[in-house]
Chain A
Amino acid sequence: MYRGREGQWAFYLHRISGLGILVFLILHILNIGSAMWGPEVSNALMKFYHQPVFQLGLLLLIAGVLYHGFNGLRIILMDFTAWGVRYQRALWYGVWVLFVVFYLPFLIKIGGGILGGSHGD
């Protein structure tokens, strides 16, 4: 139906980002939930996750959440409006416009932090 075109990329990216977010969610719940074990355990874990490599991962995660979320809204428009499917390709480019607008602040803040070496010590 839409093999090799925007619709297929939208679908693949939706799945990959969804699975990526789920994997992160596991780590995130275990990490934040560790606060139950007191400051020592919790702070040690959090310091571990403040390393630049995890911040890069976080930038990737935020990209995944924003794409998955906005593309999800596109899917909903396709499902519930009379015109959504007709304009699915235009909507996909709309997703990327929203993505850039929302991603830039995160990219600047977190990316700047990584480059500035302001990670945990």
Chain B
Amino acid sequence: MAIKSKRYPEARLEANTNLELYWWVFMRISGVVLVFLLIGHMWMNAILADLNTIDYEYVAKRLSQTTWKVYDWLILALGLLHGANGLRYVLDDWIRDPAKRFWTKVVAYSLIAFLFFYGSLSLFNHDFGVN
């Protein structure tokens, strides 16, 4: 079950498995990293660029540079993992019936795994043909 504690020593006591504690720590670390990555991401694409001009050309040009591939992939990986674990907390809280909870998680995790695969493919395994 998700850790409810607000302080690290208590979280350590409450965690009955190390894995649960690692997720608790992961949420904090990925959270800090994501704040900076996402403010940068939104600033670049909504303030520095005009949102309405974003099209295939713009995306292809940005994704032809390794720096932005890595930047976007970090957001993809950390964001999906952070989001998946957050969703797990919510489902554990809201869905009481074990069978329903199990199948909801199967669907949710499958969707997230697919998005990770699809997003990674478009970042690293596709040639956008920009020189």
Contact = CB atoms under 8 A, between A and B. Distances in A.
Interface string B40-76: 0011001100111011110110010000000000001
Contacts of B121: 33, 36
A76 interface: yes
A26 B46 contact: no
A26 B126 contact: no
A42 B54 CA distance: 11
A50 B38 CA distance: 20
A30 B118 contact: yes
B96 interface: no
A42 B59 contact: yes
B79 A25 contact: yes
Closest 6 interchain pairs by CB? A69-B35, A33-B122, A39-B56, A22-B83, A42-B56, A72-B31
6 contacts: A22-B86, A36-B126, A42-B56, A42-B59, A76-B31, A85-B7
Given A65-B38, A102-B39, 10 more contacts: A25-B83, A29-B115, A33-B122, A38-B56, A42-B56, A43-B56, A65-B42, A69-B38, A79-B6, A106-B47
